[in-house]
Amino acid sequence: MWLIRPLILVCDWLRHRLRLRHWRADAALGRRGEDMAHRYLQRHGLRVVERNWMRGGAKGEVDLVAWEGDRLVLVEVKTRSNADFGAPERAIDETKLRCMRNAAFYFTRRWDVPLSSARLDLVTIVFEPFALHHVRDAWGLHHER
């Protein structure tokens, strides 16, 4: 068991290096963060059912869609190599937030889930020095719309 975590970290790094050969550096870093957030959420009991979900014809993307019991969780992941230019969550503007809320409204209607059973979470990752933070219900849904 003690070998698994270091092995996963090495695999993450190798996958990231391979992505850098074909992707822009910021896209590769973002995907690396999404991979880590996915595993983190799974370890904490969430079941991730979609990654990088885009609703046809709509703007924006939801990084991770998960279920925690009967609660629908839409997760925004923000990743930075370091905190030199501020905290990762500073990159979330009103347009992104509106797109996430619209996605939540769409999902709740599509899957017949009460809006009160959905939430928007945030996972931030900074690699140097390493920090991962999960903010549950980072933005309210229930008073919107």
Q: Looking at residue 117, what DSSP letter applies?
A: G
Run of H or E including 79: strand 71-82
C-alpha 60/C-alpha 99 separation (Å) is: 6
- The verdict on domain 4-139 having CATH code 3.20.130.10 is no
- Tell me the per-residue pLDDT of 101-129, one tens digit each, with 9 for 90 and over: 888 888 888 888 898 999 999 999 999 99
Taking the model in full, what pTM does it have? 0.84
- What are the domain boundaries of the chain? 4-139
Above 70 in pLDDT, residue 58? no
C-alpha 22/C-alpha 132 separation (Å) is: 26
Most distant pair of Cα atoms in the chain: their distance: 48
- Tell me the per-residue pLDDT of 20-57, one tens digit each, with 9 for 90 and over: 788 888 888 889 999 999 999 999 999 999 998 887 66
